[in-house]
Amino acid sequence: MKIFLIGFMGVGKTTIGKKLAELLHYSFFDLDKEIENYTKKSISEIFEKDGEKYFREIESFILKSFLNHKNAVISTGGGTPCFFDHMDWMNENGLTTYIKASEDFIYHRLSHAKKPRPLLKDFSEEKLKNFIHAKLEERNSVYKKCQIIYKTPDEKLDSLLEKIFLVLKK
């Protein structure tokens, strides 16, 4: 079984994914990290030098390279499900979990984040708030196709595990 973690930048997909993988004794993969290992460039460098279109192609290639992986938790990038056939592909090939958070929570996390995010470069406070509002609204139509919804930071990890076992039992 592959578990795909989906959700907006800053919601904590990587942190939650690592803990979940440990509890399930699954391997953990972070799609952005895999892209960086494969291209030997940072995500920011790829956006800067090669552009977003190229980044999305590599992202697609790396995502699909997980086809034959078993027992893995894969944390995706905030935009991953919104390009090509990715959302349907992940639903067909694994269990998709939407890590859902409020705009305020995301804003707080992103305004304190150390990880460089090319889509947010040089945003003022107001611009960041507006961007989160608009992008989240746009992406929600895709995110809500996930089989499981997990609300962070309100829900405990145990509740996510329960939801996963319920789906696996069906």
Identified binder of ligand S3P from the candidate list 17, 78, 81, 94, rule CB under 6 A? 78
Rounded to 5 degrees, φ, ψ at 96 are: -100, 135
Q: Exactly one of 3, 6, 34, 79 binds ligand S3P (CB under 6 A); which one?
A: 79
- Tell me the CA distances in angstroms from 43 to 34, 96, 116, one per residue in order: 10, 23, 8
For ligand S3P, the binding residue among 12, 17, 77, 94 (CB under 6 A) is 77
Would you count residue 43 as binding ligand S3P (CB under 6 A)? yes
Q: Considering only residues 118, 131, 145, 148, which one is a binding residue for ligand S3P as defined by CB under 6 A?
A: 118
DSSP string computed for 25-60: T-EEEEHHHHHHHHHTS-HHHIIIIIHHHHHHHHHH
Q: Identify which of residues 102 and 167 has a Cβ nearer to ligand S3P in the complex.
A: 102
Q: Does 131 bind ligand S3P (CB under 6 A)?
A: no
CB 96 within 8 A of CB 25: no
The residue from 32, 81, 87, 160 that contacts ligand S3P (CB under 6 A) is 32
Verify binding: residue 12, ligand S3P, rule CB under 6 A: no
- Which residue number, 9 or 95, has a Cβ lying nearer to ligand S3P? 9
Q: Which residue has the tokens 């578990």?
A: 3
Question: Tokens 């089989």 correspond to what residue?
Answer: 147
Only one residue has tokens 């803990």, namely: 19
Interface residues toward ligand S3P, by CB under 6 A? 9, 13, 32, 43, 77-79, 117-119
